[in-house]
Structure formats: C-alpha cells, structure tokens
Amino acid sequence: MNSKKANWLFLSTVLITLTVIVLINVFYLLTAGKLEIGIILNLVISQLTIVIPALFFALFSKSGLNEMLGYHKIKISSALMAVLFSYLLMPLVTAVNAISMLFVDNTVNAMSGDILQISFPVMLFLIGIFGPFCEEFVCRGMIFGGYKKSGSVFKAIVLSSLVFGLLHLNFNQATYAIVLGVCFSLLVEATGSLWASTIAHMVINTTEVCMMFLVERLLPGIYTTGQTEDMLTTQTLLAAIGPYLLVATITTALAGCVLVWIAKNENREEHLKDIWTKRKEKKERLITVPLIIAMVLSIAFMIFDVILMV
C-alpha cells in the first residue's frame, strides 16, 4: 500500500458512502417514510462502508496484513499510559467541539435520543469498540501507513488526519477528528503499533457513551427531550470555551509528556524526534487527483448537509 493506493482507497470509500446515503434516502422517500434505518443498522453500515473497501485493497497488497497495518505487540505499561494519554486529550477535544458548535450543530448530541433508546451494552460495543477498531484499521493502518511509505511521516500525519476528519462527513465531528487523528498517529509512531491508537480511540469513545448514559440516568430526559440543545446557546458556549481552553492547554501539555514517556518505554524516542526534524525531506508527492476529488466531494456534501439543516 503506497500513497497513490491510499488516495484511491479514500476516494472509493467516499463514493461508496455517499452512494449508500443516497440509496437510503431514496428508499425512505419511495416508501413514504415507512423504511427507516434504525440507529444500530445506521452505525453498522457507516463502519462497513469504510472497512469493506479497505479489505478489498488489502487483498491485493503484496505485503501481509499484519506487516502492512502494524498490529505489533506493545508493553503493558505503554498500553496503560495510552489510556492516560486518551483522558488527557479529552479537554482538548471538548474545547474544539465547543468551538465548532458556534457554527454547526453537535452531530453526536443530535443522535443521542436514538442512542439512548438502545441498551447500553449494545451501544458500548458499536460506538466504543467496533467503531474505533474499524476506523483505526482504515485511517491509521491503511491510509496513514500508505502515506508513510511514500512521503515524510510528518506529512503523512497531517494528511491522514485530514482524511480521517473528512470521512465523518460533517463539520462538527471533522474538527475534533482531525485533532485526534494527529494525536493517534503520533501514538502509533511512539509505539510502532496500531494497537496503541486503537486503545486510545476505544477509551475516548467508550467514555463518551458511558457519560451519555450516566447523565441521562441522573437527569432523565435531558437528551431525549432536547434540553441539551436549549442549554447550549452561543452565550453558554462562549462562556465555556475559555475555561476549557485553559484546562486543555495544561492537559495537552501533559499528554505530550506521556507521549514522550511512551516513546522512551518502547525505545522509539529518536524515531519520534525524527518526525519533526525530517519533516522537510523531499519524497514522493502525496497529493494526487483521486485525493483532491475525494476531498471536494466530502466538503461539498458537508456544505450541502449544513444548508439542509438551516
């Protein structure tokens, strides 16, 4: 898998995802609203649309799947520190999410009513385990791995994180997904294993699911009756962003320290430093026509979605 194939994978995934979205909406209209995809099927389909193309590309790869993706063993201590790394990133994610909500709706919050109608174990598995595993397999395994083979690691991190954000097909999730993409990629480089980013991604998603169900239990109806939307006004968001940014500055710095510790623990400290020192090395161009087309289609869909919501 090289950068050209990674870009074709991105384009294929976007085309398949958009096609599925169109077909679902067409069937919904043709059946006068009687055929409605539930939240469980919706989540499964959304992950399969990115995994199936990746598996197809993997079948035609000359490298072995594990060699290509990098599911290498890591020390238990590194895995535990990856969990800490995840929690330290959460204030940053919250701050970025809050900033994006000044311009667009919170996508996860809009889905919360449907999510809470399903049992907790099912949602914990689909959102907290299945989703992160699929996304890490594709975005950090196939795409980031492909970019690394053809270009500098620094550019691979930036571009694969942008792709990760765009694959969410909405501006709200895309903003903090790009940030997390950078952090997860650095974690992969610090450990040399895709398991590290998978663990971190699972921790963040499972925590989000647990908090959603916990808040609903403590304050019944806060999500299902739309109270959260009434509470999240522009004024409350502006008031919250400042403190969140302050906390995020501290915790993100601590997350950086944890990342360095993990790299030392895995004897990859020099490799982590090389990401920055070798960022300007000229290698194969990562940006190709399929990548540009995929980005244009993704952003166009996101803009169209915002217009429909107005």
Of the chain, the end-to-end C-alpha distance in Å amounts to: 41
**pLDDT for 142:** 92
Mean pLDDT computed over 225-252:
81
Task: Let me know: does 150 contact 284? Beta carbons within 8 Å.
Answer: yes
* pLDDT at site 64: 58
Composition of the chain by helix, strand, coil, percent to 5: 80, 0, 20
Q: What is the pLDDT of residue 254?
A: 97
Q: What's at 219, amino acid-wise?
A: L
pLDDT at 230 over 60: no
Question: Average pLDDT, stretch 165-185?
Answer: 95
What is the C-alpha separation between 43 and 184, in angstroms, rounded?
Answer: 22
CA distances from 241 to 36, 75, 97, 231 (A): 37, 36, 9, 15
> What pTM, to 2 d.p., does this model score?
0.92
Instruction: Kindly provide the b/e burial profile for residues 229-255, where b requires at least 16 CB atoms within 10 angstroms of the residue's own CB.
Output: eeebeeeebeeebeebbeebeebbeeb
> What pLDDT was estimated at residue 125?
96
Q: What secondary structure does DSSP assign to 124-190, as a single string?
A: IIIIIIIHHHHHIIIIIIIIHHHHHHHS-HHHHHHHHHHHHHHTT-SHHHHHHHHHHHHHHHHHHHH
User: Which residues have a Cβ under 8 Å from the Cβ of 232 and sit 6 or more positions away?
Assistant: 101, 106, 109
Q: Do 176 and 61 touch, CB atoms closer than 8 A? A: no
